Amino acid sequence: MKVIVVGSSHGGYEAVRGMLLENPDAEIQWYERGNFISFLSCGMELYLEGTVKDVNTVAYETVDNAEKDGVHVFVQQEIASIDEKNKSVHVKNLADGSERDESYDKLILAIGATPRRLDVPGKDLENLYAMRGRDWAIKLKQKMVDPDLKHVFVIGSGYIGIEAAEAFAKAGKEVTIVDHNPRLLGNYLDSEFTEKLTQEFKENGVNFVGSVNVSEFVGKDGKVSSVKTDQGTFDAELVVETAGVIPNTSLVDGLLDLDERGRIKIDEHQETSVKDIYAVGDATKVPYAPTGELSSIALASNARRQGRTAAANAAGRELKMTAVSGSSALSVFNYHFASTGVKQDTQEKCGVKGAESVLIEDWAVPPFVSEEAGNAKVYFKITFDPTDGRILGGQIMSTRDVTANINTISFAIQQHATVYDLAYADFFFQPGFDRPWNIMNEAAQAAVRKIN
Ligand code: FAD
């Protein structure tokens, strides 16, 4: 069997690894149009902040390693078109200009997404950057040490914008971060959490402005110098645009069924509308565990699960894509937070009505352990359906890293567990690590009282 995998990021990497596990005898061809395979944008902040020194190590895989495992890797080679009737792809070698066709038995598309750029006057000025992939990582890193750069303007306060803002602030730059939303991280956390994080940003020199519409990039000598918005003009010698992504699906437009935003429609086995063509990652949607509906959640964790699912099905073993809840974690200066599933403030965006929540504030470990010894306040919020107690979401934040609790909530959502199940669930107790009632027990018990 000949399998062609297109795209070498999270989805493509996992599809290749999955195929090696499922069918070691398969002939695997792996294509990437960029000049580097499997760069992890997830690791970009670690590189920008200097935790990781070499940008080339921020990857899952090297060409040599994949080839040692029998995978044929083609870098700087783009799949330019697909002939689904003859089951072949047209390949353009971007390095030497040559072209050829390659046949396939199974085709797995992990073609991902590209950052959305603002279509406003001044959009062609220099120093308007995005933040995705190795090339942008290198360019951003150069800017961090540029002594002429004083003001950085970040558009979009999702995870990526937050990472950009924090990295540039730590590099000593004056940073403003703006969003359409009134709250920063508005899609990830409720206001009890975002108020604290906005304050944390402020204390570390990052100015957040919400409910902003950018109207123009103003330039001087061809380079951006300020940004006009409906809330004033901001100095900016560098703009980082992190206002969402657009699926890279022009390759399959007219061939595969796409949704209204151009994402590839897939079934529960990751198969597209054309037999033997599978799609995974940010170019697709995922099954959202709280509602059972498909949802667009651009995460590497999802792309990896989809890649494994596509590989299993392409190899002939039936495997359904697991339902996911958009679980994610991040740090903002001294705080660590994580969230999963439905939030109280934005439940309607997730297709949910009438959800209720309980917020608990408590110490991470028994209060006899001092803050100097590592104790810290933990804020945990559980969101549930009051009609049957079903757990729909969770959010956690502390200056101590307690983010892993959210994986339990994600699993509870996926398993359709209720606050009744969680209220007395068995979690370990050791005063150096936790309390006799974990904060999730406490919150679920409060939720049960609220329902009754
Ligand atoms: P993409 O990463 O979009 O990659 C697609 C690849 O396909 C590209 O390399 C592209 O060159 C190639 N390609 C496209 N078309 C063709 C073609 N026709 N021929 C050949 N090659 C082609 N997610 C998390 O879960 N945790 C995190 O901590 C996290 N942090 C992030 C931080 C940043 C700064 C960013 C930008 C994203 C982060 N994400 C994180 C999200 C995660 O990176 C994406 O969800 C993930 O990259 C999606 O993977 P993908 O395989 O769909 O495709």
Catalytic residue list contains 336 = no
For residue 175, CA distances in Å to 155, 306, 336 come to 11, 36, 20
Q: What is the ipTM of this complex?
A: 0.99
Distance, in Å, from the CA atom of 104 to the CA atom of 110, rounded to the nearest integer, reads 15
- The predicted-structure confidence for 26-47, as pLDDT tens digits, reads as follows 999 999 999 999 999 999 999 9
Q: Which two tokens stand for residue 229?
A: 């918005």
pLDDT of residue 383: 98
Ligand 1 pocket by Cβ (under 6 Å): 6-12, 31-34, 41-42, 44, 78-79, 110-113, 131-132, 160, 163, 248, 251, 281-282, 298-301, 303
Residue to substitute in 31, 36, 39, 41 for testing ligand 1 pocket (most ligand atoms within 8 angstroms of CB): 41
* Contacts of residue 99, Cβ cutoff 8 Å, sequence gap at least 6: 80, 90, 91, 92, 93
- The predicted-structure confidence for 55-103, as pLDDT tens digits, reads as follows 999 999 999 999 999 999 999 999 999 999 999 999 999 999 999 999 9
pLDDT of residue 271: 98
Q: Atom 15 (ligand 1): residue with closest C-alpha? A: 111
Confidence of residue 284 (pLDDT cuts 50, 70, 90): very high
- Is pTM beyond 0.90 here? yes
Distance, in Å, from the CA atom of 452 to the CA atom of 437, rounded to the nearest integer, reads 21
* 115 Cα to the center of ligand 1, angstroms: 10
- The predicted-structure confidence for 350-384, as pLDDT tens digits, reads as follows 999 999 999 999 999 999 999 999 999 999 999 99
Residue 240 has a CB neighbour count (10 Å cut-off) of 28
DSSP letter, residue 75: E
Residues in the chain: 452
Instruction: Name the burial class of residue 74, with classes exposed (0-12), middle (13-18) and buried (19+) by CB atoms within 10 angstroms of its CB.
Output: buried
Distance, in Å, from the CA atom of 10 to the CA atom of 279, rounded to the nearest integer, reads 12
* Contacts of residue 68, Cβ cutoff 8 Å, sequence gap at least 6: none
Residue to substitute in 13, 33, 82 for testing ligand 1 pocket (most ligand atoms within 8 angstroms of CB): 33
How far is Cα of residue 70 from the mean position of the Cα atoms in its chain?
30
Instruction: Name the burial class of residue 253, with classes exposed (0-12), middle (13-18) and buried (19+) by CB atoms within 10 angstroms of its CB.
Output: exposed
Catalytic residue list contains 350 = no
- The predicted-structure confidence for 321-349, as pLDDT tens digits, reads as follows 999 999 999 999 999 999 999 999 999 99
- The predicted-structure confidence for 393-442, as pLDDT tens digits, reads as follows 999 999 999 999 999 999 999 999 999 999 999 999 999 999 999 999 99
